Amino acid sequence: METRESKYGESTTSLVGQNDGLRNEGHIPQLFPQLFTSVPALNEAASYLTQTTSYFTRCFSDVAEGPMDGGSGMNMVELTKFSESFATATAAPPIHDGQLRTPVAVSPQNTTAIAETSGSARNGLSIFQSLIARARRTVHGSADDIGWLQHASEMPPVEDGTQRFMELLDNIRHGVHTLPNSMIYLLVPGLFSNHGPLYFVSTKLCFSKMGLACHIAKIHSEASVEKNAREIKEYIEEIYWGSKKRVLLLGHSKGGVDAAAALSMYWSDLKDKVAGLVLAQSPYGGSPIASDIMREGQLGDYVKLRKLMEILICKVIKGDIQALEDLTYEKRKEFLKKYQLPRELSVVSFHTEAAITPGVLASLSYVAHAEVPMVAPLTLSQSAKVPVVMPLAAAMAACAQLLQVRYGEKSDGLVTCRDAEVPGSVVVRPKRKLDHAWMVYSSMKDDPCEANASQVCEALLTLLVEIGQERRHEIAMKDE
């Protein structure tokens, strides 16, 4: 062995016997690995890359296989080990091909460079940790929130009214109509209904033909729940003062949440004016779609998903982002902790499961109509109504499939079945596959052998009237 001074101010001890042997035997190619590893920077970079790759592999394998708690606490051990090993690799004297490099002196410039490298490493670890935390939170989504109402101990149990509903529906399809004309029927539309002119129109026309007073609440569907609750309260009072008849409400989707909020917040003013409430496909417990869009700390933050949705609702649709946020599980839990439906109110909740068969891809929903002038020889004053259709069934089927695969939950495409069951209500769970839009928009391929949306609404309200009569009878018996 011979000792020589390197140009880096280090004393180097060489084990040259092996290299001499290689030179004598002519094994020139074997020198390349030794030349590569003799450069400390390349060796350290390769070590750092190897550890980084191993760390990412462990993290993402945890996301795919391990339990997901939405946080990054499970990665703290790996991060600590990774940081310690990186610090050890950069601080310990390396040995390359038998050459021991012993640092002689450390200059202030080298100290600054080491400090900057250490700071960069910590920043990189922080970025990795944040990325993994966001990935976990995104993958976990709303898994812990779906159906939370069914596990809440303070909530009253539900009662199954599906069989009686099917009996009433069959009677209606055979021409037996028993809804009383001594009440006013108020239909409360859901989110984005202002952009669908035919929302609930067929149901209102059907009721009018039977001689029933039916109204569609003219509310701003993209407004917050509390704002719409005040408007519905004023709407009910106006109807009652004008007719002296009690009101039966049927709310669809967010309309059911708005109507329930009105009765919960203003029951003392409305208890003598309201006879009951039907919530059809309403996310009373919350919506995983809304929650997954609005939840912060997800991978979607990198593409400003929340900001894009805010621009769509506020700027394009002229609504309030609070309308969507009010449907998240977090906001619904806060609201229901503060306001609950009165126990004496008759309530029916209705939910369905969307079909996800390929046949729904060809289904179109009639959402509006456009008037266009007729061509000659007819006069220009005449116009024809052209239907405006949208593939809502296909969109609902895609969303239902997503919720089924991701959470294992049945839904109508937007609202899971468990979140639509209102505590203390009579629940209707039909076996027929119906998506979220079917209740309010007629399909271009409705089966004449099946009940239409108007008949389903009539059956739900008829069931509500029967429940109210039974409860009044029970109260009268107790008083006697």
The model carries a pTM of 0.70
Q: What is the rounded CA–CA span in Å between residue 189 and residue 218?
A: 8
**What's the confidence (pLDDT) of residue 65?**
44
Q: What is the rounded CA–CA span in Å between residue 359 and residue 441?
A: 18
Q: Which of 168, 344, 182, 340 is nearest to 248 (CA)?
A: 182
**What's the confidence (pLDDT) of residue 296?**
75
Encode 6-21: b = buried (16+ Cβ within 10 Å), e = exposed: eeeebeeeeeeeeeee
Q: What is the mean pLDDT of residues 99-108?
A: 52
**What's the confidence (pLDDT) of residue 263?**
97
Q: What is the rounded CA–CA span in Å between residue 237 and residue 244?
A: 10
For the cut 50, the answer to whether the pLDDT of residue 22 exceeds it is no
Name all domains of the chain by residue range, CATH numbers in brackets. 2-140 (no CATH), 153-284+339-479 (3.40.50.1820)
Condensed to tens digits (0 to 9), the pLDDT of residues 301-323 reads: 655 666 776 676 666 556 678 88
For the cut 60, the answer to whether the pLDDT of residue 14 exceeds it is no
Q: What is the mean pLDDT of residues 79-85?
A: 48
Condensed to tens digits (0 to 9), the pLDDT of residues 332-373 reads: 999 999 999 999 999 999 999 998 877 666 565 545 445 555
- SS3 call for 259: helix
For the cut 70, the answer to whether the pLDDT of residue 199 exceeds it is yes
Q: Pull the structure tokens for residue 57.
A: 């592999």
Please report, to the nearest 10 degrees, the dihedral formed by the alpha carbons of residues 326, 259, 220, 252 taken in order. Answer: 90
Strands (DSSP E) found in 37-152: 95-96, 99-102
Q: What is the rounded CA–CA span in Å between residue 238 and residue 243?
A: 9
- SS3 call for 72: coil
**What's the confidence (pLDDT) of residue 295?**
81
Q: What is the rounded CA–CA span in Å between residue 397 and residue 449?
A: 22
Q: What is the rounded CA–CA span in Å between residue 85 and residue 281?
A: 55
**Percentage of the chain modeled with pLDDT above 90:** 44
Q: What is the rounded CA–CA span in Å between residue 431 and residue 471?
A: 27
**What's the confidence (pLDDT) of residue 119?**
65
For the cut 90, the answer to whether the pLDDT of residue 39 exceeds it is no
> Quick check: 444 and 363 in contact, CB under 8 A?
yes
Q: What is the rounded CA–CA span in Å between residue 27 and residue 46?
A: 25
**What's the confidence (pLDDT) of residue 54?**
61
Q: What is the mean pLDDT of residues 464-478?
A: 88
Condensed to tens digits (0 to 9), the pLDDT of residues 213-264 reads: 999 998 988 889 999 999 999 999 999 999 999 999 999 999 999 999 999 9
**What's the confidence (pLDDT) of residue 149?**
93
**What's the confidence (pLDDT) of residue 152?**
87
Strands 426-428 and 347-350: parallel
What's the mean pLDDT when you consider all of the chain?
76
Q: pLDDT: is 395 or 305 the higher one?
A: 395
